[in-house]
Amino acid sequence: MKRRGILYCILLLTLSLTILLLPATPVQSAASPQQVLLLYDSLAKGTFKDGNVTELQRLLAAYSTKVTLRSLDQYEQGMLKNYSRVIMVRNEADILITNKSYIEDWEHYQGQYLHIGYNPPANLTKALQLTTDVIYDGSAELEIGQFSGIQAKVQDMPYIVASQAVKSYGQLSFAEEGLQAPYAVSKGNDTYAPYFEQGNVSTLGMAYVLKDWLHITAAPKMYLAIKEIYPFSDLQLLAETGERLYQLGIPFLASVRPVFSNTDYPAMQRYLVAMKSVQSSNGSILVNAPVVMPTISSSDHTLKGKMNDFINLLAENGLGPLGVGAEMHWSYDKEYSEAGMSFFDSVVLYPDEQIDYMEQSDTSKSFPSSLYSVPLEFLQALPTSNKVIPQLPMNTVITVDMPEDERQLEEMLQSLERNWVSFADYKQEEHQVVTDQNTISSLDGMISINGQPLSLDYTPETVDSDYRYTEEQQKSFTRLFNIQNQFFIVVIMISLLLFGGLLMIGYRLYRRKFLK
């Protein structure tokens, strides 16, 4: 027994020394986002390239990337060495790089580099053996991935004449010029895409380039979301919409606007009932960012508490929200991203309609699950050889506004039926929402609140509209005033009777006197 104990001690000591002597391996969280430095020479305001930097931010967000955005003029010494991936957007052919800090740092940069637009740097041109030219006015047709025949009008468009790249992405055809060229090329750490605009074929081309450049291997999915849902929407029509989609076998997201006050009113209770109906129709609840007034004070920091209370209200009523929907600039605002979005690890970023920063940041907040949103009309514009719409390279959500009447509902359903799209179920993926009182999560189609599975079955219920909207004020001397009122009524009636009697007596006396 003593020998066995000594052997055990020797074995344990040997294992301990082995572990201590092994080189330490840094642990990197699987959820740690990739970081990209996005530089640009100009935002090209008022030109056909206006908005391409913003569109690039949206595409990077769809790949769960954390982005730091800087103009070349704002570049600071040493920034390049902090990023293993850098994107440069050159929108102007005649703008020279004069920032000495960038020029010095660029000479030593060894990371992954993606150049978009004019004037690729000399070392990239040499590495790719690159030759370019410009089409000043014409039309281009893109073929990439499973898509072909996508056309767009182009102006001042640089394109690749020749290169010794290892890999090329897609093919651009210029029928008028009789030319063909790859959309983008890459070799080693260098990637070049000469052309990128917002809202045309190049957006799809850039999505494929970024997926490969960021080494994204996960299979993309497509979702359907209904937007613009408010407490004063036609909630019966909302419930019918959910039921009709359920009958068609289409899972969907309902992007609901939050309510921060009067949550005990019947209107709010009906809103919650409608959301339960949606949830039972294989719909997933998405909390849409609230409408923020442009004049909001920078000292108003109540958003976080309001969002926290609204999520808790949903959880208390058997509703499990799984993500947040917001315009893209929210992820670049310190206050909005923290106060409005930090409860969620999943987001749908919509295109910006009105940008109102409260505390703007040059670095975005990233999310493990982030969907690139496009309207239903985008699907309808894609040319296909059959009814089946191929998957886009990134996780995408097709958005439709809440129908206003039966006619719009029928039109929406017919559009979805015409385009054979395989929509995914949002709650099949992993999502988590955390407040001060509740942890809401989903996985494999099961939603749980604080570890307890949430039943998605729902029995329709009605809300009592007999509600006292203002509290009855406390009344003093009510009895006294009632007695007083009754007394004055009696006095007035007696006075009227006496006055009437005097009139009758006076009339008779006057009549007798007149007859005599």
CA atoms within 13 A on the CB side of 281: 22
Q: 2.60.40.1180, 3.20.20.370, 3.40.50.150, 3.20.20.10: which CATH number matches 222-292+301-453?
A: 3.20.20.370
Task: Report the pLDDT value the prediction gives residue 502, as an integer from 0 to 100.
Answer: 81
> Residues in the chain with pLDDT < 50?
1-30, 466-467, 469-473, 475
CA distance 272 to 334: 30
Structure tokens at 492: 């007035």
Chain centroid offset of residue 389 CA: 23
Alpha-carbon gap, residue 69 to 278, rounded angstroms: 39
Quick one: pLDDT at residue 380? 77
- Looking at residue 354, the DSSP 8-state letter turns out to be S
d(CA 190, CA 369): 28
Please tell me the predicted confidence (pLDDT) of residue 298: 65
Q: What is the pLDDT, as a whole number, of residue 421?
A: 83
Q: What pLDDT is attached to residue 214?
A: 97
Domain 35-213, classified CATH 3.40.50.880, yes or no: yes
Tell me the residue type at 514.
Answer: F
List the one residue out of 422, 372, 427 whose CA is nearest residue 397.
Answer: 372
pLDDT of the residue at 311? 97
Residues 6+ apart with CB under 8 A from 185: 128, 130, 160, 163, 165, 167, 168, 169, 191, 192
Amino acid 480: pLDDT: 62
Is-contact 54 198, C-beta < 8 A?
yes
DSSP conformation letters of 357-423: -SSB-SB----SEEEEEEEHHHHHHS--SSSBPPPPSS-EEEEEEPPSSHHHHHHHHHHHHHSB--B
Per domain, the residue ranges of the chain are 35-213, 222-292+301-453
Q: Say if pTM beats, i.e. exceeds, 0.75.
A: yes
Note whether 35-213 and 222-292+301-453 share their fold: no
Please answer whether residues 355 and 329 qualify as being in contact, where contact means their C-beta atoms are separated by less than 8 angstroms: yes
DSSP letters for 132-167: EEEEEEEEEEEEETTEEEEEEEEEEEEEEEE---SE
For strand 252-256 and strand 190-193, is the pairing parallel, antiparallel, or unpaired? unpaired
pLDDT value at position 291?
84
Query: How far, in Å, are 162, 184, 301, 316, 346 from residue 305 at the CA level?
Result: 57, 47, 8, 16, 19
How far apart CA 60 and CA 52 sit, in angstroms, is: 12
With CA atoms as reference, report the closest residue to 283 among 317, 318, 315, 321: 321
Distances (CA, A) of 85 to 34, 39, 130, 332, 475: 9, 11, 21, 19, 72
